[in-house]
Structure 1
Amino acid sequence: MLAQFSQKIRLFAGLVALAGCVSAAAQTTFPPLAGESPLSGPLPGDQVFPAVAVGTAGGYVVWQDNVTDGDGWGISALRLNNNLSGSQAPFRVNQTGAGNQENPRVGLLPGGGAVVVWQGGALGAQRIFARFLAADGTFASGDLMVNTYTGGEQINPNLAVLADGSVVVVWASSGQDGSLQGVFGQRLSATGAKLGAEFPVNQTTLLNQRTPSVAALSDGGFVVVWISEKRLGLDANSVDAFAIDAMARLYNSTGTATGDEFKLNSSSNACANPAVSAGMTGGFTVVWSQRDAANFETGWDIFTRSFDAVGLAGATDARVNSFTYGDQFSPRIQSVGADRMVVWTSLAQDGSREGVYGRLLDAAGQPSGAEFRVNTTTAGQQMHPAIGSDGVGRFLVVWTSYAADSRFDLFAQRYAISVALPQLPAPMVTALSQSRIAVSWPELAGYDLSGYGVYVDGSATPTLVTSNYHVISGLSAGTTHTVRLDYVLRDGRRPAQSVLATARTWGEDANFDGLPDDWQARYWGSDPTKWPSANEDSDGDGVSNLQEFLAGTDPTDGRSALRTRLADNGQGWRVHWDAQPGFVYLLQASTDLATWTNVGIARFAAGTNDSVLVTPAAGRSFYRIVRVR
């Protein structure tokens, strides 16, 4: 069995490239939109190997997280809003927490949903799983096992969403094709149902066929690319010689291969880590890492080649990176119209171990303009880049960055044709009482802000605040109010106002029993004499009617309650709670039950439960869950 080539770290002082505008003569320019920013703020543990999918309305980032599920690696996700900033806190994707869940990929579905795939299970017997999300961000399925064959292990999944809304998932499977690893695929409906049988991709079966990538094509079909190992026989020294090439195969919309597998690279150098992006006219562009066997100092480089809709190459393969000392590896590629952006990890180029670099390709798929550094922070390691495109005018690059306290967090950089200031999404607004409404919104990452403007009920003059939370008070009971947002940069510029959001204050409590009359009427009818008191437990679930009101649960359904518990799972203490899908919650902590502070930011409930790792203060610590929306 051929071992995969390891990457060699070579540190070389003084080699530093400056980040700058991404441009090329006679080509669309994609300048950085604001600056590098943490994707979700500092999180406990390590966040590594991200993947991203975005559209004009936002998208998702997914990654491996060694804290999220309490046992080894799990899969976390963060929903992105229309300006490609994080919306609320990250959430756990995988239902099964035992063992390691790794190598996630994500795709956006027509209508606003999404699908996440990953490998999970015991080492040596991992399987491929998928989970679907609805347009509102809640889970539309549980963990679904994608592969049918369960011998050996199934690893390194990838996916593409096809023009008809179906999903194709590909992966490497051990022993299934009669040799070592082989590439297999499965089509799924937009709800996760299997469409047809699992199918083999590679025709060459001897040795390993591995690390597949897949892209949806404009004609409704798809292309799969992978690495193929072949034995060539004995060389002049009677030593086994091998070829390690990048291969591809084309499929139509029904999952039927339209031809044989074919080689992508024109050289005989070893290849690794292919990635593929579709073009506008039915073709596709592939990037991969390639080893220069004749020059040890250049190591691995990034190469690209473009093909038409039937797999004919437009030109010979070309090296993408211009800095060639050491290793450049693990490329990713996405397209905006006829333009493509390639990103990769480069050793020693930014002066401190790994850095993330990129370059544009022109309409012919050839490198255009200078390569550029993506990460602004250069200390330590910046690696594992992923790239998403909204298909219209923006790229989003996400990567893993070393933090000062010996952990890895995710950072992001946006690139856009237009440098117009992004508009904030509509805020979340919710009633706190008969006279107060709370307004909250995701922070705008990467910009130097003076503050946010909150416009209430059409006012032309905003209330300026420096946080992303504001309480409007002095309102009348049972009244509806509108809120819009904007922000002010330190240079005085402002964007257009956000889409408006509305909220209604609680109705009056005419009988002074501590509960809004309109809420009681919803569950117990319009006759106040039949309304139970606030302290009663009408459904016998151990939670009073007042607590059910505050939690947003149903006081007439014993299965609907906000229950919390604190448990030590070996990684530390976690606060768990039962959630209502679609609600937003905030964890708070106190040492005296009088003063409460927020633990992190608001968390959207994609499913029916959630948890947060906490660090109790010395002495006593108390925790509570507050329903924000």
Structure 2
Amino acid sequence: MFAGPVKAPINALNTRVNTTISGEQGNPDVAPLRNGGWLVTWARGEKITSDWDVYQQRYAASGGKVGGETQVNTTTAGDQVHPAATMLVDGGWLVTWESDGQDGSESGVYQQRYAASGVKVDVEKRVNTTTSGSQYHPAITALADGGWVITWHSRPQDGSRYGVYQQRYAVSGADIGIETQVNTTTALDQVMPAVVALADGGWVVTWMSMEQDGSVGGIYEQRYAASGADVGIETQVNTTTADDQNNPAITSLADNGWVVTWDSIGQDGSGFGVYQQRYVASGAKVGVETQVNTTTAGDQYYPAITVLADNGWLVTWESNGQDGRGFGVFEQRYAASGVKVGIETQVTTTNVYEGTTAVAALADGGWVVTWHSGSDIYQQRYDAVGNPVGG
């Protein structure tokens, strides 16, 4: 049996992010900024040239735009897509993205640093050292020492289709060491990495691995110390292994623990569902994996997650058919204890493209959700209580 569509309350005063409405906007991400504002990044494709570029829009704590949308990438030949952003310790931020053909091969990963003023720091730089084949799907996290780590998946660098790699940077922007492989198991594909910094200066990378758990896809993770050394070995996150577990996302908690979320097909009795697993600072699991979505009819997938100011967390996901229109974005808040706060609520009032949601916590205790709808990027801000703000 599965639960039918729940008429979740709609907390939505959705606003469009992009100013330019020509072409197609996609691949949104969102990151908090030190002043209480936030940054939304996305890719825009022009209908005439079919080329894609990366753009950003900064917001003040008041919710007002700071300046206009600006282009991030300097090199415009080919496509620049799938941006990810993070706030740095100095109040600036860094954007990373995937660029087609720029490194002389297929796709490569690039980055651009910004000062707190919004001015570019230096020029865009290539992240991946290995350029043969393709390097895709970058993810980024800022570290406690002022540096950052970028992860991506690369084909066929580990000798067996896709593998996950990372590069660490110092606060100066200099490489620390060389790019290193994250996954130990290399058979078939290890893809879609996500990364988060821990309070102790280390970090955790999570990814999807094909057939490693004896079924289709499974979720794995590797922890690192502040020194960059492995902490233990890669470990499996999902307990249920039947069929496919995919699309991992991760956030860290103030107690040096973390939470991983993913989607799983067939586990809730009806298509995809969203699940999570919490960890304490030692790396031990807290209880068992739990289901996030209450409504199970249809598909609930593509989760995103962020820690909140109260050390609880918030998970967002896409649900197919729950709002009676098509794809919608829903969210569920958790207290620091891991108990659900209220019920799942609907974020969007417009149809959503698959795999396009992102969420970031703000300094005031609230959060921002962003997504791709139609040809545009939209967002919804919430206050610390969970009430929608703006409109």
TM-score (norm 1): 0.52
After TM superposition, list the pairs within 5 Å mapping 1:90-239 onto structure 2: 90-122=14-46, 124-230=50-156
Any idea what the Cα deviations from partners look like across 1:16-52, whole Å, max 9, x if unmatched? 8x9xxxxxxxxxxxxxxxxx9857x2xxxxxxxxxxx
Name 1:476's counterpart in structure 2: none
After TM superposition, list the pairs within 5 Å mapping 1:428-447 onto structure 2: 446=343
**Alpha-carbon contact 2:90-2:116 (below 8 Å) kept:** no
Name 2:245's counterpart in structure 1: 328
Name 1:375's counterpart in structure 2: 293
Name 2:211's counterpart in structure 1: 292
Q: Give me the whole-angstrom Cα distance separating, in 2, the residues matched to 1:153 and 1:141.
A: 25
After TM superposition, list the pairs within 5 Å mapping 1:270-419 onto structure 2: 270-292=189-211, 295=214, 298-337=215-254, 338-390=256-308, 392-402=310-320, 403=322, 405-417=324-336
Q: Give me the whole-angstrom Cα distance separating, in 1, the residues matched to 2:340 and 2:82.
A: 38
Q: Give me the whole-angstrom Cα distance separating, in 2, the residues matched to 1:136 and 1:370.
A: 39
Q: Give me the whole-angstrom Cα distance separating, in 2, the residues matched to 1:255 and 1:360.
A: 32
Q: Give me the whole-angstrom Cα distance separating, in 2, the residues matched to 1:418 and 1:313.
A: 28
Any idea what the Cα deviations from partners look like across 1:292-338, whole Å, max 9, x if unmatched? 1694xx10100001011232111110110011111111100001121
Deviation at 1:604, TM superposition (A): 3.1
> Cα RMSD (Å) of the superposition?
2.7
**Alpha-carbon contact 1:38-1:410 (below 8 Å) kept:** no
**Alpha-carbon contact 1:282-1:309 (below 8 Å) kept:** yes
Q: Give me the whole-angstrom Cα distance separating, in 2, the residues matched to 1:412 and 1:212.
A: 24
More strand by share: 2
Aligned residues: 344
Q: Give me the whole-angstrom Cα distance separating, in 1, the residues matched to 2:296 and 2:388.
A: 31
**Alpha-carbon contact 2:313-2:336 (below 8 Å) kept:** no
Name 1:21's counterpart in structure 2: none
Q: Which amino acid aligns with 2:257?
A: D
Quickly say closer, same or farther: Cα 1:162–1:407, change in 2 above 3 A: same
**Alpha-carbon contact 1:91-1:603 (below 8 Å) kept:** no
Q: Which amino acid aligns with 1:316?
A: I
Q: Give me the whole-angstrom Cα distance separating, in 2, the residues matched to 1:248 and 1:365.
A: 21
Quickly say closer, same or farther: Cα 1:388–1:231, change in 2 above 3 A: closer
Q: Secondary structure at 2:231's aligned position in 1?
A: coil
**Alpha-carbon contact 2:146-2:171 (below 8 Å) kept:** yes
Q: Give me the whole-angstrom Cα distance separating, in 2, the residues matched to 1:301 and 1:391.
A: 30
Any idea what the Cα deviations from partners look like across 1:571-625, whole Å, max 9, x if unmatched? 9xxxxxxxxxxxxxxxxxxxxxxxxxxxxx99836xxxxxxxxxxxxxxxxxxxx
Q: Which amino acid aligns with 1:275?
A: A
Quickly say closer, same or farther: Cα 1:316–1:117, change in 2 above 3 A: same
Name 1:89's counterpart in structure 2: 13
Q: Give me the whole-angstrom Cα distance separating, in 2, the residues matched to 1:446 and 1:166.
A: 35
TM-score (norm 2): 0.82
Quickly say closer, same or farther: Cα 1:285–1:350, change in 2 above 3 A: same
Structure 2: any 5+ residue segments left out of the alignment? 345-373, 375-386
Deviation at 1:415, TM superposition (A): 1.1
Q: Give me the whole-angstrom Cα distance separating, in 2, the residues matched to 1:159 and 1:396.
A: 19
Q: Give me the whole-angstrom Cα distance separating, in 2, the residues matched to 1:294 and 1:139.
A: 46
Q: Give me the whole-angstrom Cα distance separating, in 2, the residues matched to 1:322 and 1:355.
A: 14
**Alpha-carbon contact 1:225-1:246 (below 8 Å) kept:** yes
Higher relative contact order (CA 8 A, sep 6+): 2
Q: Which amino acid aligns with 2:333?
A: R
Q: Give me the whole-angstrom Cα distance separating, in 2, the residues matched to 1:602 and 1:306.
A: 35
Structure 1: any 5+ residue segments left out of the alignment? 1-13, 19-35, 42-85, 233-240, 423-444, 448-570, 572-600, 606-629
Q: Give me the whole-angstrom Cα distance separating, in 2, the residues matched to 1:419 and 1:230.
A: 39
**Alpha-carbon contact 1:101-1:119 (below 8 Å) kept:** yes
Q: Give me the whole-angstrom Cα distance separating, in 1, the residues matched to 2:264 and 2:340.
A: 31
Q: Give me the whole-angstrom Cα distance separating, in 1, the residues matched to 2:222 and 2:339.
A: 33
